[in-house]
C-alpha cells in the first residue's frame, strides 16, 4: 500500500501528498522546488491551494482538490472494483490512477521520477482494438490498463475513452508517462455525441474558443472525439475546474447542492485572471441559456495555468449540450424528461427556460460590472448568436432561433 505520493507539476516535484489518519483528511507537504520555481503564494497548482499554505484553517481543501481529479458515479465505482478498494478511498484511487490527470498534475510513488520519455509512448489501436476498448468501458473506465502502465483519471460522470492520436490520424493508447491527447465520448442512453458536436460548432460560429472535435463511428456507436485543450501536442497544460478553484468537494458541483455560484467564479477570475475573462464568463452564461444547457455546472468551466504565467485564463468550452433538446430514456427504454433546472442559477432564476435578457444583465451587474457594460455584452452575444443560428443548418436551428427571440422579449 502506497502511503505517500509525490505531486508533479510541469515536470517539477512540488509536494508530497499523504493521508495519515482516516483518509478523511489529506496532508500536503510542499517541496522546496515549488517555491524556487514559482514563489511562495503562487496559485500555479490551484487558486485554492497557494504554494506554502499550511491549510490549518481549511484542511479539507487538499482532499477536495485531489478528489476532483477522479471520475464520478459508475466510472469511479468501476475503478474501485478494479483495485478492490472502496470508491470513497480517494488516496488509493489516486495512487493507482493518478499518473495521467486533467491538467499537468501527475501523482507518482516516491521512488519514481517523472521522466516523460522513459518507458512511455503510444501503441496504435486497430479498429478491433477500439471496438474492444469500447466494449469494456463500463468495467475498465477511461481505457485504463494498469498492467500496460496506462493509469489515467479524468473527472465527470459520462463514459469516456482516453487516447492519443498519431500524426496520420490513427488512434493510439498511451502508456507510461505519455499523456492522453483526445477524449472519445460514445453515446449512451441518449444520443449525446451529435448534440454536443452541434453545440460546439455553434459556439465556434459565435466566436467562442472551442477545441477540435469530430464525430466518429466505433462499431456502430456514434462517438464524439474531442481534442484535449489541456494538452499542447504531447505536453501537458495545467488546468483546474471551478470546484477545485473554489475549494469545494466533488459532490457540490451544482448550486442547488450549495456549490459555487457564477458570482463566486467571477471572483476567482477577477482576483487571479484577466479582467476581460469576466466578459467571457458572461458570454458563456448567455450561450448556455441560448442553447438550453441546464447542466452547466461548476465542473464544466475550467481555468488554465500556463507554466510561466502567474495568472489564469478561462479554458475553452467543453461538456456542452442542449439539454432541452435531449430525449433521454431510462434503463427500460422509457422516455423521460431532462430537467430544466440550472446547474448554476442566473440572477436567482433556477429554470433555464425562465431566464430573460434582464436576468442576464443583472447577473453580470452582480459580479461588479457596470450595467451598460453588462448590457452591451449580452446584446452583442445575442446578435452574434442570432446570425450564427440563421446559418446553422442543423436540427437545432429552430430551437436556437426560438430561444433567442424569447430571451430578448421585453428588452
What gap in Å lies between CA 197 and CA 371, rounded to an integer? Answer: 34
What gap in Å lies between CA 171 and CA 217, rounded to an integer? Answer: 13
- pLDDT level of residue 296 (50, 70, 90 thresholds): very high
Percent pLDDT > 90 in the chain is 80
Instruction: Work out the average pLDDT over 313-323.
Output: 95
Q: Which residue has the cell 487571479?
A: 272
Q: Which residues does 348 contact at the CB level (< 8 Å), separation at least 6?
A: none
Paired with 314 in beta bridges are 303
Element of type H or E holding 161 = strand 161-165
Q: Which of 94-98, 115-119, 299-303 has the lowest mean pLDDT?
A: 115-119
What gap in Å lies between CA 381 and CA 376, rounded to an integer? Answer: 8
Percent pLDDT > 70 in the chain is 94
Residue 295 annotated in active site: yes
Range of 9-23, 57-71, 93-107 with top mean pLDDT: 93-107
Positive or negative torsion for Cα 259, 204, 155, 244: negative
What are the helix (H) ranges across 234-275? 242-246, 262-272
Asked if residue 117 has pLDDT above 60, the reply is no
Query: What confidence score (pLDDT) does residue 330 get?
Result: 59
Instruction: Provide DSSP, 67-99.
Output: HTTS--HHHHHHHHHHHTS-TT-HHHHHHHH-S
Mean of all residue pLDDT scores within the chain: 92
Grid cell locating 39: 514563489
Task: Evaluate if pTM is beyond 0.85.
Answer: yes
Asked if residue 23 has pLDDT above 80, the reply is no
Q: Which residues does 77 contact at the CB level (< 8 Å), separation at least 6?
A: 87
Instruction: Work out the average pLDDT over 41-70.
Output: 90
Asked if residue 57 has pLDDT above 80, the reply is no
> pLDDT digits over 226-282, tens only?
999 999 999 999 999 999 999 999 999 999 999 999 999 999 999 999 888 999 999
Query: What confidence score (pLDDT) does residue 202 get?
Result: 95
What gap in Å lies between CA 201 and CA 253, rounded to an integer? Answer: 26
Contact criterion met (CB below 8 Å) for 380 and 397: no
Query: What confidence score (pLDDT) does residue 399 get?
Result: 87
Grid cell locating 46: 490551484
User: b/e per residue, 190-206, with b = 16+ CB within 10 A?
Assistant: eebbebbbbbbbbbbbb
Element of type H or E holding 351 = strand 349-351
- pLDDT level of residue 203 (50, 70, 90 thresholds): very high
Q: What's the 3-state SS for 183-230? A: EEEECCCCCHHHHHHHHHHHHHHCCCCCCCEEEEEECCEEEEEEECCC
> pLDDT digits over 131-184, tens only?
999 999 999 999 998 887 898 999 999 999 999 999 999 999 999 889 999 999
> pLDDT digits over 320-336, tens only?
999 998 875 555 556 66
Residue 392 per-residue DSSP state: -
Selecting among 277, 279, 295, 319, the annotated active-site residue is: 295
Greatest Cα pair distance in the chain = 64
Instruction: Work out the average pLDDT over 74-89.
Output: 94
Range of 41-55, 106-120, 348-362 with top mean pLDDT: 348-362
How many CA atoms lie less than 13 Å away from 152 in the CB half-sphere? 27
Domain residue limits, the chain: 4-109, 121-232, 248-408
Asked if residue 313 has pLDDT above 60, the reply is yes
Query: What confidence score (pLDDT) does residue 397 get?
Result: 84
How many CA atoms lie less than 13 Å away from 316 in the CB half-sphere? 18
Amino acid at each position: 500500500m502506497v502511503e505517500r505520493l509525490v505531486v508533479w507539476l510541469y515536470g517539477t516535484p512540488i509536494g508530497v501528498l499523504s493521508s495519515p489518519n482516516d483518509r478523511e483528511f489529506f496532508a500536503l507537504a510542499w517541496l522546496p522546488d515549488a517555491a524556487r520555481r514559482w514563489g511562495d503564494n503562487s496559485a500555479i497548482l490551484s487558486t485554492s491551494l497557494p504554494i506554502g499554505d499550511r491549510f490549518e484553517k481549511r484542511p479539507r481543501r487538499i482532499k477536495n482538490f485531489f478528489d476532483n481529479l477522479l471520475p464520478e458515479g459508475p466510472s469511479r465505482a468501476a475503478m474501485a472494483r478494479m483495485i478492490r478498494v472502496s470508491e470513497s478511498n480517494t488516496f488509493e484511487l489516486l495512487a493507482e490512477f493518478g499518473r495521467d490527470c486533467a491538467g499537468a498534475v501527475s501523482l507518482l510513488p516516491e521512488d519514481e521520477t517523472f521522466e516523460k520519455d522513459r518507458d512511455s509512448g503510444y501503441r496504435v489501436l486497430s479498429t478491433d482494438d477500439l471496438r474492444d476498448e469500447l466494449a469494456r468501458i463500463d468495467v475498465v473506465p477511461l481505457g485504463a490498463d494498469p498492467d500496460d502502465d496506462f493509469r489515467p483519471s479524468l473527472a465527470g460522470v459520462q463514459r469516456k475513452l482516453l487516447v492519443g492520436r498519431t500524426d496520420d490520424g490513427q488512434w493510439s493508447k498511451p502508456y507510461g508517462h505519455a499523456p492522453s491527447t483526445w477524449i472519445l465520448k460514445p453515446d449512451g442512453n441518449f444520443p449525446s455525441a451529435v448534440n454536443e458536436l452541434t453545440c460546439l460548432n455553434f459556439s465556434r460560429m459565435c466566436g467562442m474558443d472551442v477545441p477540435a472535435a469530430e464525430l466518429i463511428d466505433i462499431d456502430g456507436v456514434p462517438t464524439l472525439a474531442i481534442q484535449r485543450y489541456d494538452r499542447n501536442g504531447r505536453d501537458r497544460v495545467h488546468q483546474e475546474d471551478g470546484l477545485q478553484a473554489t475549494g469545494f468537494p466533488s459532490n457540490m458541483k451544482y448550486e442547488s447542492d450549495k456549490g459555487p455560484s457564477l458570482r463566486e467564479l467571477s471572483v476567482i477570475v477577477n482576483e487571479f485572471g484577466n479582467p476581460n475573462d469576466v466578459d467571457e464568463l458572461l458570454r458563456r452564461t448567455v450561450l448556455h441559456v441560448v442553447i438550453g444547457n441546464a447542466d452547466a455546472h461548476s465542473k464544466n468551466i475550467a481555468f488554465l495555468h500556463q507554466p510561466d504565467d502567474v495568472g489564469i485564463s478561462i479554458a475553452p468550452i467543453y461538456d456542452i449540450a442542449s439539454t432541452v433538446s435531449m430525449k433521454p430514456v431510462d434503463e427500460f427504454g422509457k422516455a423521460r424528461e431532462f430537467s430544466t433546472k440550472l446547474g448554476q442559477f442566473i440572477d436567482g432564476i433556477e429554470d433555464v427556460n425562465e431566464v430573460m435578457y434582464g436576468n442576464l444583465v443583472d447577473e453580470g451587474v452582480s459580479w461588479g460590472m457596470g450595467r451598460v457594460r453588462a448590457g452591451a455584452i449580452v446584446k452583442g452575444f445575442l446578435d452574434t448568436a442570432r446570425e450564427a443560428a440563421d446559418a446553422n443548418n442543423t436540427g437545432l436551428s429552430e430551437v436556437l432561433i426560438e430561444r433567442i427571440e424569447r430571451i430578448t422579449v421585453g428588452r
